[in-house]
Amino acid sequence: MRAKDSARLSTLRLLTAAMKQKEVDERIELDDAQVLAILEKMIKQRRESIAQFEKAARQDLVDKEKAEVAVLSAYLPQRLSEAEIQKAIETVISETGASGAKDMGKVMAALKSRLAGRADMGQVSNLVKSKLSG
């Protein structure tokens, strides 16, 4: 507030409002994993909005959404490299004994808890799919 960074301030207010809304709706105290899930959801929403605004040629709104993504991303843990993700996938596949595409749900469930907030789960899903089918 003191820095007069209104874009950052409004984004952080949106984040705290979303967290409070979840706490009130479910009558719980949020833990780190739930806060990360809210952050990821908000970032995903903004990325979808960016795609829509680009189709509509609304550069002003694209810039606003990108700025919000940058602010929210600062609160996520350090992202894993693709090599680290591959290693985690191989570890989980060997631990679960997954052998084909039918075991993808098991593998993804285990990976989701391990990689939450540190990897794009869409990318992880594609890597698991190629690993199990190939």
* pLDDT tens per residue, range 61-107: 999 999 999 999 899 888 888 889 999 989 988 888 878 788 888 88
Provide the CB-side half-sphere exposure for 60 (13 A, CA): 0
Does domain 82-133 match CATH 1.10.3210.10? no
Q: State the burial class of residue 4 (Cβ atoms within 10 Å of its Cβ: 0-12, 13-18, 19+).
A: exposed
Taking residues 38-54, report their average pLDDT.
94
For 6-73, the fitting CATH number among 1.10.1510.10, 3.90.79.10, 1.20.1300.10, 2.102.10.10 is 1.10.1510.10
Helix 82-96 to helix 121-133 angle (10° resolution) is 50
Enter the pTM of the model: 0.72
Phi, psi dihedrals of residue 27, rounded to the nearest 5°: 50, 50
Torsion 55-10-7-72 (CA) sign: negative
Enumerate the domain spans of the chain: 6-73, 82-133
User: Which of the four pLDDT bands, split at 50, 70 and 90, describes residue 12?
Assistant: very high
Helix (H) or strand (E) run with residue 29 in it = none
Contact partners, residue 49, CB within 8 Å, separation at least 6: 61, 65
41-52 exposure pattern, b = at least 16 Cβ within 10 A, e = fewer: ebbeebeebbee
User: Which of the four pLDDT bands, split at 50, 70 and 90, describes residue 1?
Assistant: low
